[in-house]
Amino acid sequence: MRQGLLTWLLGLLLAAHLSLIDAGRAKAADFDYYVLSLSWSPSWCSERDPGGRTSQCNGKRRYGFIAHGLWPQNERSWPENCESPEPGRVPDALARSLNDIIPSAGLAGHEWRKHGTCSGLSQRAYFNTLRAAYAKIVLPQVIFNGAIDRNISTDQIESLMIRANPGLKRDALAVTCDDGQISELRICMTKSLGFTSCPAVDRRACRQRNISIPAIQ
């Protein structure tokens, strides 16, 4: 009798555990759109690693825009650090396969844990989606070739981005800045990677009229 009761209780606990996992999965995929965040590496390196200690900044690879992340987003909030059946650590082989757009395994792991877990995708599917989003964006080389330092208005940057990417509109794009330098381009995309408006992201854009684009070192 006791053994039967114990078996029943264990079964009940297992069912509850599985239902929590299922609920976490459903919650993880509950978002409206993605924000593709592209970080201008020369700005980051000049502020965070001027000595070139990291692989991103040591000059062995001339990074321009790197993929900071692909962030699930809602209009007034965003999910973070969601429950996922996937491991928190990104395997070395997967991290290395992303080195052309994500320069460190540490960044890949951070982005997966904080944002990727909320996509409802597996690790590999999430990073494949991030790569597809990155590949979709045409970056106007007239300003982003990295050959020289440039000073330009944020309005010009947006105009050139819109011209280079059919379907992209100003309310789907934000240029961010830090200490007078370009920091990131943030582009709002549907789950199928079409462009979509995102007033909440646009409201956090750079408010400086002119900013600099440091050259790639």
Please give the positions annotated as active site: 68, 111, 115
The secondary structure of 117-153 as a DSSP string is GGTTS-HHHHHHHHHHHHHHPPP-HHHHS-SS-EEEE
CA distance 167 to 169: 6
List CB contacts of 95: < 8 A, sequence separation 6 or more: 102, 104, 105, 108, 109
The three-point CA angle 77-78-82 to 5° equals 140
CA distance 112 to 117: 6
* Strand blocks (E) in 7-91: 33-40, 65-73
State the pairing for strand pair 150-153/65-73: unpaired
CA distance 154 to 180: 11
CA distance 165 to 194: 11
Question: For residue 107, how far is the Cα from the chain centroid?
Answer: 10
